[in-house]
Amino acid sequence: MNSNALLFLITFLVIPLCSCAQSNPQAMKFPLQKTDEDWKKQLSPEQYKVLRLKGTERPYSGALYTLNEPGIYRCGGCGNPLFEADTKFDAHCGWPSFYAPVKNEAIAEESDYSHGMLRTEVMCSNCGSHLGHVFPDGPAPTGLRYCINSISLDFKPLKSELPVE
């Protein structure tokens, strides 16, 4: 094979194949994209562990678990409004629990097969940060329990909050 033919082969066959294999559908999914370095700079090490590495805070350890005040719970990664305080209930599980998100588009869900069980992971739909899991054993009207890490949330009391459109 002469060098021109080899060049042709590399340019039109090998390079497109490689770029295709490298594209990551997960990275395309969320509007807000940041590098790992940027997340590390922005978040505390504890926040980074839960939000970006899908960790779980210890039950009953979170600052927002027993909070019972009107307001909005926003994403700790990007400020996206996620849950309203009047959908919060005490599920006696050790993590803040809600029966519905502020709107369905606020969160993204994915099957999670880790720890030998099938659970539904809940993420912020804007930045992809891990929030917790949703279970089908919540109260009316949805019958759902969004079990969310306190550290994944940023609470804004009602008086400082603009209405969510």
Residues with a known catalytic role = 147
- Among 77, 101, 132, 138, which residue interacts with Zn ion (rule: CB under 5 A)? 77
- Among 78, 123, 131, 147, which residue interacts with Zn ion (rule: CB under 5 A)? 78
76 binds Zn ion (CB under 5 A): no
The amino acid present at 20, given as its one-letter code, is C
CB-nearer residue toward Zn ion: 129 or 150: 129
CA atoms within 13 A on the CB side of 1: 8
47 binds Zn ion (CB under 5 A): no
In angstroms, give the least distance from the CB of 16 to Zn ion.
Answer: 33
The C-alpha atoms of residue 131 and residue 36 are separated, in whole angstroms, by 17
Residue 139 CA to its chain's centroid (Å): 23
What does the chain come to in residues? Answer: 165
Peptide bond preceding 96: is omega within 30 degrees of 0, i.e. cis? no
- Among 51, 127, 147, 148, which residue interacts with Zn ion (rule: CB under 5 A)? 127
In angstroms, give the least distance from the CB of 45 to Zn ion.
Answer: 18
Residue 72 CA to its chain's centroid (Å): 16
Contact string (CB under 5 A) for Zn ion, positions 80-99, x = contact:
x-------------------
126 binds Zn ion (CB under 5 A): yes
Beta strand pairing status for 97-98 and 145-148? antiparallel
Chain residues that interact with Zn ion, rule: CB under 5 A: 75, 77-78, 80, 124, 126-127, 129
